[in-house]
Amino acid sequence: MASSLSANQKVAVVTGSSSGIGYETSLTLSRNGFLTYATMRNLNKIENIKSLAEKEKLPLKILQLDVTDDGSVKNAMQSIIAEASRIDVLVNNAGYALNGAFEDVAMEELKAQYETNLFGVTRVTQAALPIMRKQKSGTIVNISSGVVTIGGFPGGSAYVSTKFAIEGLSKSMAYELEPFGIKVVLVEPGVIRTNFVNGMVAAKKSQDPNSPYSQIMQKMSASFEPMLENGSSADVVAKVVLNAVTSENPSPRYLAGKDIETWMEAKRSMSDEEFYKMMKQNMMK
């Protein structure tokens, strides 16, 4: 793994890089010349990305970073600045989905969901912004979700609400940071064939067969498999991220995946009521 910064080389930081979108994005950026810090909470999961980076002699470094921990974020950012002196790209990708009907989600479970998906983005971005402002440039990519297009899904109230929050956060930040030469980009993936669904955390009460929402949740779970079969691979999202961060004037928002584009076209052509009925039929068969 090459790690020294060459002249005019840009520096990228990616969170949640142990698998899925973060993994593919870290590899794609490093393959395209970025000195890439592939960060992750658990360094026991580094073997795959480490071996590929060494084999291809990529400019990629692996760094421990837990987005829910102030000290971890501070230490990671200090290490990056000490080594590279700059951050040109920040990809906020780390996150997970809490699955469960709204009434079944405990407050502590909901807080934990927000701690990673929203406050984690806030914590890492606020740590990176001083250096970006100092260098008067930078691009922040926040990985949102195509669920903001469809508006939600059964069992997704916790997860979906964090992604709507990311959308509002990003759009507001864009106004504030533009005077400093910093761009803010949203990437909204559709269904992606990763371990994300398998890694969903089920709310404890939602696992009770006596939950009044048990039948609804069973139908929703059954709909995941065909959606995954028709989903896109994580490298589709990585290529969208690469396009955004190498564009002189990136779009404020990018869709990633064939299904999300189909949903968007359908939503444009239907009333809210028609779109709701269509999605309900697809998800609640």
Q: Per-block average pLDDT, block size 10, for the chain (285 residues)?
A: 70 97 98 98 93 97 98 98 98 96 97 98 99 98 92 92 98 98 97 74 90 89 73 92 97 91 86 87 75
What confidence score (pLDDT) does residue 285 get? 67
Instruction: List domains and CATH numbers for the chain.
Output: 11-284 (3.40.50.720)
Write out the chain in H/E/C secondary structure: CECCCCCCCCEEEECCCCCHHHHHHHHHHHHCCCEEEEEECCHHHCHHHHHHHHHHCCEEEEEECCCCCHHHHHHHHHHHHHHHCCCCEEEECCCCCEECCHHHCCHHHHHHHHHHHCHHHHHHHHHHHHHHHHHCCEEEEEECCCHHHHCCCCCCHHHHHHHHHHHHHHHHHHHHHHHHCEEEEEEEECCECCCCCCCCEECHHHHCCCCCCHHHHHHHHHHHHHHHHCCECHHHHHHHHHHHHHCCCCCCEEEECHHHHHHHHHHHHCCHHHHHHHHHHHHCC
Handedness of CA 20, 227, 230, 266 (dihedral sign): negative
What confidence score (pLDDT) does residue 15 get? 99
Q: Are 41 and 65 in contact (CB under 8 A)?
A: yes
37 annotated active-site: no
Rounded to an integer, what distance in angstroms lies between the CA atom of residue 134 and that of residue 107?
39
Adjacent-strand bridge partners of 265: none
What confidence score (pLDDT) does residue 6 get? 74
Of 76, 168, 171, nearest in space to 124 by CA: 76
Taking the CB of residue 273, how many other CB atoms lie within 10 A of it? 8
Taking the CB of residue 213, how many other CB atoms lie within 10 A of it? 18
Given the residues 159, 175, 213, 254, the one annotated as active site: 159
Q: Which residues contact 13 (CB under 8 A, 6 or more apart)?
A: 36, 37, 39, 80, 87, 89, 90, 91, 124, 128
